[in-house]
Amino acid sequence: MHRIRRWAPGLLLVSPSLILLGVFVYGFLGWNLRVSLSDWRGLRPDYAYAGTDNYQRLPDDTRFTDDVENVLVFTAVFVVGTLLLGFLLALLIERGVRGEGFFRGVFLFPMAISFIATAIIWRWLLNNAGGAQETGLNKLFGQVGLDFLANDWFKSRGTWAPAAIALPAGWALSGYVMALFLAGLRGVSDDLREAARVDGANEPRVFWHVVRPMLLPVVMSAVVILAHISLKTFDLMFAMDVESRKIETPALYMWFTTFDGLNFSRGAAIATLLVAGISVVVVPYIWYSIRMERRR
Amino acid sequence: MSETEAETESDAEPRAAGVRLESVGKRFKGGVDAIRDVTLQVEAGEFMVLVGPSGCGKSTLLRLVAGLEEVSSGRIHIGDDDVTNRLPQHRDVAMVFQSYALYPRMSVRRNLAFGLRMRRMPKEQRNRRVAEVAEVLGLEHLLDRRPAALSGGQRQRVAMGRAIVREPRVFLMDEPLSNLDAKLRVALRAELSLLHKRLGVTTVYVTHDQIEAMTLGQRVAVLRDGVLQQCDRPQEVYLHPTNLFVAAFIGSPAMNFVDAAVERGVVSFAGVTVPLPAGSPLAEADRKVILGIRPTGFTPAADRGWPTLQATPEVVEELGDERFVVFDVAAPRVDTDATRAAVEASTADDALLLPEDRARFTVRLPTDVPVPVGEPLTLSIDPGRLYFFDPDTGDAVPS
Amino acid sequence: MTVAEVAVDDGADAADGADVAPTDGRIRSRWAPWFTTLRYGALVALVGMFLVPVYVLVVTAFKDPTEVSPSQMWALPDSLSLDTFRTVWPEMEDGFRNSVMMAVPASIIASFLGAANGFVLAKWRFPGADVVFPLILFGMFIPYQAVLIPLNQLMSDLDMHDLGGLTLVHVVYGLPITTLIFRSYFSGISDELIDAAQVDGAGMLRTFVFVALPVALPAFAVSMIWEFTSSWNDFIFGLVLTSRQDWPVTIALNNIAGSQVVPFHEAVAAALLASLPTLAVYVVMGRFFMRGLMAGALKG
């Protein structure tokens, strides 16, 4: 009994947060699941169980499958591109440059801006109007002789339209990945690198054999965070080109089908799938991080 | 004393109280037994040192007395109170931590006053006490500084001051000198002793340094793997260790050990034969023992009729007024759990840089006659300063 | 790569002129100055690329409205003017005010709660704390789509489809990250400090208030900045939970800029205005921003 006196005050202090999160996260997730298994359409809630129809119908829903394709394209380009760019930035800065603060500041500031504002600017930069109306990056490319790079960006036909969105997204998040890699690269103890150098390794070898293996956790962190952001991103596409199916993702479809189409049950089903998709990546990551932390 | 009475302190005389541990045990999650059935009595006003290698449980024991950990079994009494189930706030003990644990964002003054504030002592009384203690420890000019602006020695004094100002029944100290460099440590040792004499508060002091233990403690409690090995005055522990571990742990340089055989009233090893003292209980025995001889148990003098040993010095350490000579003996090295634990080696390999099968002795010799490396030397063994231990249990064998 | 000739780097690289180049004291190969030039060159080019949108933003927003046209996007202004801002501001004003009234309290409350949570999880353990923390953490990763429908319902039932409801929502969903930030931070302070407070007579609450909080000021900065930025920049919760008079600035911005009728310089100026507070915070307290990022990657 006496032991309780020790930890009870702590539990009490965190209980408001636990209750709030219990309701707003886990309670809502469960609630959402329940809605997804109902047939609620229209403004009045209807929780009667209606089976898994909503899920079963999704693979046949071409809008949904197109959206899945879009998000996969976007995720692939976004994650890989941002990883590479972020890594490059970190590599350039890592050894120490004069004005490091300035460089870091420039690469990181896009994170402070909302995705809406980002979308507004980039919508114009990636504008595909032609002729006298030409503007944005296309026009810039023309002026510096890089005409061949001009394209329809997010209004392109075909699978690659969503990849254009990876540009503003990458612009916004490369700084973050850079920060992760910087911390990772600088975390490699100098002793290790110096031992390798004394042993005769030149710089590229030092990097490959000593530094690279220790970057794996950083890469993992970055991939998990980028991937989950890309799956749930809503603001960016919404503000870029709200009507366009070319860049629509399941995250947006959920919105439209629920709040425009009033098909709550289908929206909930899509949302549940999003959670499942993200959990596949995030849950092992959290579990792994906690394990690593305990071992230290 | 009820809990509420313990919280309000008056300016009465320091109420030193004894500490009694009855069959205290502590098991951590995961089944590790950090403390096993320890029974110990610290008298009121006594300076008791808990000593042992790392992991022996001494810090855990201290934390149990403080109430920072909860006992798994047994009871703890401070003075007349059974404090086993009391939180640290209500035990009226004060603790000095190895890292000092000064509150970083508070001035020295507020650091000192914190415990008194927590006990709701009126401001005037608080300020008075803080001023007194600051004067005793020479901290008056530092009162408005933050810990970050103090030197190591100054922080140490503030940590002590924080404990003293509370006028607790017991002081607990967890290796407070370990973070200081060697010379400062030696100087502060003496200061600590003086402080104790002056204040007369019961003190339980933890250290891994057996020299600190011997010099500071009125009594020394030697711990190994959570079990109390011996608790006695320093001289007693030195001259009459109860087992191999205590013998190996206490004393610097460590005691020399060798496998020996006792029969027909003599003990022999490596071709050396030493007669047992008259009236020794081992006189009729016929058994194997581990023989221990302290580095000071040898002399170069050949005139006392003592048994001699031929030695070829391999290493000679000159320390000004002392000289330590290291040589090998033609007998196997004694390598037991106890001897390894005493030097904190977990496997046989840890204690040696180069593998060695033979026993290695260290002997303290006077510095008047030079001792060159490699030249054979004759050493006399004092038969009155031998220690005998059972090879299986490690217990001391009466001799 | 062989080191044919070794030259000691005395700090006078060709790239840097007479200034001391960053050196860790190592003997460098003779290729080093070229690599350094390459590095700086690449960095400057990348900075240029990153700032392209900023260039467009600034140039367009400050241009005289009569000069503005999409095809002239890249041209520098002939004359500067604040007219565009003046046109756009009245439409942003309410949204701005709402966002301030929401983001500031949300960041303060979420930070205090996060500090309490972080402290207990890091230092005052209770049975099950090891399970609770990952559960809290997961809340950081959930897609908001998954809670929109229940949230919408609950807020309707509670009649909280207003700024208060939005603030509550930001506090709740900000808890995982603020908790993470503080827990990381408190893990780094020594256990002995907490022990000392206990032995000195403080219980959990007093230890938290008098010992832990004063030490956690840097974490507060990080947490407040992160939570403020995140609440200010949110869009989807605003969309679900608020109507015209409670719109945060992001909704206002989207309404102005999303419409096809509004000229692009107004959209861009509005975007700039809407981003000013978070940018200001970023400029002033940048290094805390970076620390917040680190916490987000679960680095202990």
Burial class (CB in 10 A: 0-12, 13-18, 19+), A130: exposed
Please tell me which residue of chain B has the smallest CA distance to A5.
Answer: B87
Residue A138 CB contacts under 8 Å (≥ 6 apart), including other chains: A127, A128, A150, A151
In chain A, which stretches have pLDDT less than 70? 1-2, 131-133, 295-296
What is the model's pLDDT at position A207?
76
Q: How far apart are CA A262 and CA A264, in angstroms?
A: 6
Any chain C CB within 8 A of the CB of B3?
no
pLDDT (0 to 100) of residue C85: 85
B344: alpha, beta or left, given left = phi > 0 and alpha = psi -120 to 50?
left
Q: Does the CB of C264 have a partner CB in chain A at under 8 Å?
A: yes
Distance from CA of A1 to the nearest CA of B (A): 10
pLDDT at res. C300? 30
Establish, for the pair of chains B and C, how many residue pairs have beta carbons separated by less than 8 Å: 65
The answer to whether C271 touches C56, Cβ cutoff 8 Å, is no
Instruction: Give the angle subtended at the CA of B71 by the CAs of B67 and B75, to the nearest 5°.
Output: 90
User: How many whole angstroms separate alpha carbon C81 and alpha carbon C226?
Assistant: 33
For residue B93, which residues of chain C lie inside 8 Å, CB to CB? 199
Model-level pTM?
Answer: 0.86
Collect all residues of chain B within an 8 Å Cβ-Cβ radius of residue A2. 70, 85
Q: Which residue in chain A is spatially nearest to B68 when comparing CA positions?
A: A6
Residues in C touching B68 (Cβ below 8 Å): 195, 198-199
Residues whose CB falls within 8 Å of the CB of residue B9, separated by 6 or more in sequence, listed in order: B119, B121, B166, B167
Within 8 A of B105 by CB-CB distance, chain C residues are 214-215
| CA gap C182, C184 in Å, rounded | 5
Mutate to test the interface with A, among C149, C166, C262, C288 (most CBs of A within 10 A): C149
Residues constituting chain A: 296
Q: Is the complex ipTM higher than 0.90?
A: no
Q: Which residue of A has its CA nearest to B72?
A: A3
Residue with tokens 């927590």: B118
Per-residue pLDDT of chain B (399 residues; tens, 9 = 90+): 444 444 444 444 556 789 999 999 999 988 889 999 999 999 999 999 999 998 889 999 999 999 999 999 999 999 999 999 999 999 999 999 988 899 999 999 999 999 999 989 999 999 999 999 999 888 999 999 999 999 888 998 999 999 999 999 999 999 998 888 888 888 888 888 998 998 899 999 999 988 899 999 999 999 999 999 999 999 999 999 999 999 999 988 889 999 999 988 888 888 888 888 877 888 788 888 899 999 998 888 777 788 888 888 888 998 888 899 998 888 888 888 888 888 876 565 566 666 677 888 999 988 887 888 888 888 888 888 899 999 888 888 887
Pick the residue of B68, B90, B155, B204 with the most C CBs within 10 A to test the interface with C by mutation.
B68
Does any CB of chain B come closer than 8 Å to the CB of residue A98? no
Chains that touch A (3 or more CB pairs under 8 A): B, C
Q: Residue C81 corresponds to which tokens in the numbers above?
A: 């003017």
Binary contact (C53, A125; C-beta < 8 A): yes
> Edge-to-edge, what's the strand order for the sheet holding B298-299?
B298-299, B377-381, B308-311
Domain boundaries, chain A: 57-295
Contact assignment for A5 to B70 by CB distance below 8 Å: no
- The answer to whether C153 faces chain A, any CB pair under 8 Å, is yes
Contacts with C, B 125-164, CB within 8 Å: 162
Name the residue with tokens 């987000």.
Answer: C296
3-state secondary structure chain B: CCHHHHHCCCCCCCCCCCEEEEEEEEECCCCCEEEEEEEEEECCCCEEEEECCCCCCHHHHHHHHHCCCCCCEEEEEECCEECCCCCHHHCCEEEECCCCCCCCCCCHHHHHHHHHHHCCCCHHHHHHHHHHHHHHCCCHHHCCCCHHHCCHHHHHHHHHHHHHCCCCCEEEEECCCCCCCHHHHHHHHHHHHHHHHHHCCEEEEEECCHHHHHHHCCEEEEEECCEEEEEECHHHHHHCCCEHHHHHHCCCCCCEEEEEEEECCEEEECCEEEECCCCCCCCCCCEEEEEEECHHHEECCCCCCCCEEEECEEEEEECCCCEEEEEEEEEECCCCHHHHHHCCCCCHHHHCCCCCCEEEEEEEECCCCCCCCCCCEEEEECHHHEEEECCCCCEECCC
Taking the Cβ of residue C219 and every Cβ of chain B, the question of whether any pair is shorter than 8 Å is answered with no
Spell out the per-residue pLDDT of chain C, length 300, in tens: 222 222 223 333 333 333 344 455 566 666 777 778 888 888 888 998 899 888 888 888 888 777 777 777 777 777 787 888 888 888 889 999 999 999 999 999 999 999 999 999 999 888 888 889 999 999 989 999 999 999 999 999 999 898 999 999 999 999 999 999 999 899 888 899 999 999 999 989 999 999 999 999 989 999 999 999 999 999 999 999 998 888 999 999 988 877 666 788 888 889 999 999 999 998 888 777 776 666 655 433
Return the C-alpha torsion angle C27, C32, C33, C39, nearest 10.
-130
Which chain C residues have a beta carbon less than 8 Å from that of B67? 198-199
| Rounded distance between C-alpha atoms, residue B354 and residue B360, angstroms | 12
d(C-alpha B255, C-alpha B249), whole Å: 8
CA atoms lying within 13 Å on the CB side of residue C133? 26
Answer yes or no: do A183 and C294 touch at CB < 8 A.
yes
- Residues of chain B neighbouring C220 (CB-CB closer than 8 A): none
Provide the 3-class DSSP secondary structure of residue C6: strand
| Model pLDDT, residue C275 | 92
Is A57-295 a domain of CATH 1.10.286.10?
no
Kindly list the residues from chain A whose CB atom is less than 8 angstroms away from the CB atom of residue B85.
2
Vertex B192: Cα angle to B186 and B198 (nearest 5): 145
Residue of chain A whose Cα is closest to the Cα of C241: A259
Residue B323 backbone phi and psi in degrees, to 5: -140, 130
**Tokens representing B231?**
């608790």
Q: Which residue of B has its CA nearest to C206?
A: B118
Q: Which two tokens stand for residue A244?
A: 């366009």
CA angle, residues B267, B366, B253, in degrees to nearest 5: 60
CB B156 within 8 A of CB B180: yes
Residues of C in contact with A120 (CB under 8 A): 253, 257, 267-268, 270-271
10 Å Cβ neighbour count for B263?
13
Nearest CA distance, C162 vs chain A (angstrom) = 17
Compute the C-alpha angle A131/A135/A137, nearest 5°. 120
CB-neighbour burial class of residue C199 (10 A; exposed 0-12, middle 13-18, buried 19+): buried
Interchain CB distance below 8 Å, A271 and C50? no
Q: Hey, which chains touch C, using 3+ CB pairs under 8 Å?
A: A, B
Write the CB contacts of C96 (distance below 8 Å, at least 6 apart in sequence).
C249, C252, C273, C274
Rounded to the nearest 10°, the torsion over CA B85, B91, B97, B100 is: 130
Which residue of chain B has the CA closest to A6?
B87
Cβ(A78)–Cβ(A145) below 8 Å: no
Tell me how many residue pairs between chain A and chain C have CB atoms under 8 A apart: 284
Cβ separation A103–C71 shorter than 8 A: no
Task: For Cα atoms A51, A53, A55, give the angle at the middle one, nearest 5 degrees.
Answer: 110
Chain B neighbors of C206, CB-CB under 8 A: 118
Residues of C whose CB is below 8 A from A21: 135-136, 139, 172, 175-176
Query: Which pLDDT does position B63 carry in this prediction?
Result: 95
Q: Is C66 exposed, middle or buried (0-12, 13-18, 19+ CB in 10 A)?
A: exposed
Element spanning A288, H or E: helix A264-295
Contacts of A106 in chain C (CB under 8 A): 47, 50-51
Give the one of C195, C200, C215 whose C-beta lies nearest to B105's C-beta.
Answer: C215
Contact B20/B76 with Cβ under 8 angstroms? yes
